Structure 1
């Protein structure tokens, strides 16, 4: 029981950690995606671009910590699914699918967005070629405008946040179902004990 609770903590902890990071992005993403200020969005695009470049230039230990936290969540799922019952397979299996979908969004959209924005190539294929290893030249034809690139980056953060919220909802559902099952078993055992005690009194 304690091992299962610790494994659930290993899943919920990283999920909340990444939701906290995405919440810090919200002031940038909100203004880029959903507001239409009278002064225009140019200043918000500049802010988001500067923020992405700053994060990409972070020390290597930052990305290593992120990778460790991601691995911790996966390890938690593996522990929970080891010799799992039907309930675990339902909740944890669906949670793992969402978690892996979040990792896919992170690798394909967000990490690529970091590289494209930092290189400043956007729709310019000549800059893409000049950037060398900073971008994936095989995808050069897919580069879009600066504004659209930043919108895709912000939208990817929103999608990732929704996916992680789904993981938390499923984990909360599993916890609730487990508590309800334990309470039902406890009530059944209590009723059985009362029946036995009444039978002994009649004898």
Structure 2
């Protein structure tokens, strides 16, 4: 296995891992985002309890997530160490999406964990200590339901971003295989022409 193939595995592996984690959140997020508004109330409670449970997880869980994030970044650094045209196109765009996913994770999801666990939805004094964000209109802090919906929507956005990373990596793999096949065909034709020339002589 070449270094480039191993680096691609380092990118695709953590991306698939995080998609699996987000897929496990889908039963909670789906009902909060897309269920009939009148039926959402019990699902807000379920999602809130789930977030508090996850936030209280042992430190090992967050360390594994951080290692997975770092592995993906290391894979991109290896692939872009000696870039060619394909690397700059596919890996550059993939890295932009990957960093966008990390930004969503840090700004919305991690902060959502802290806000929900602390229960500071409508308390300005607690929100100021935790760094909660003011809404644009009126200066009110976002409500409990809005906070939980933003958290669920952030998971969905992150999943779409990671799918984009996988699509670009698959596109790079396909383009590389097509190029290798084209070069092999070209070399084969060159050998055939060379053999035909020797026969004529």
* TM-score when normalising by structure 1: 0.93
Gaps of 5+ in 2: none
Note the 1:16-95 alignment, pairs <5 A.
16-36=16-36, 40-95=39-94
Note the 1:54-203 alignment, pairs <5 A.
54-128=53-127, 135-136=130-131, 139=133, 143-203=141-201
Instruction: Write the distance in 2 (CA, Å) between the matches of 1:142 and 1:100.
Output: 30
Residues 25 and 201 of structure 1: CA distance in aligned 2, closer, same or farther (over 3 Å): same
Residues 142 and 164 of structure 1: CA distance in aligned 2, closer, same or farther (over 3 Å): farther
Please give the secondary structure, in 2, of the residue aligned with 1:82.
Answer: coil
Instruction: Write the distance in 1 (CA, Å) between the matches of 2:140 and 2:9.
Output: 40
Q: CA deviation at 1:2?
A: 1.2
Instruction: Write the distance in 2 (CA, Å) between the matches of 1:151 and 1:192.
Output: 61
Instruction: Write the distance in 2 (CA, Å) between the matches of 1:127 and 1:197.
Output: 82
Q: CA RMSD in A?
A: 1.5
Residue 7 in structure 1 maps to residue 13 in structure 2: no
Instruction: Write the distance in 1 (CA, Å) between the matches of 2:52 and 2:156.
Output: 19
* TM-score when normalising by structure 2: 0.94
Gaps of 5+ in 1: none
Q: How many residue pairs align between the two structures?
A: 197
Please give the secondary structure, in 1, of the residue aligned with 2:45.
Answer: helix
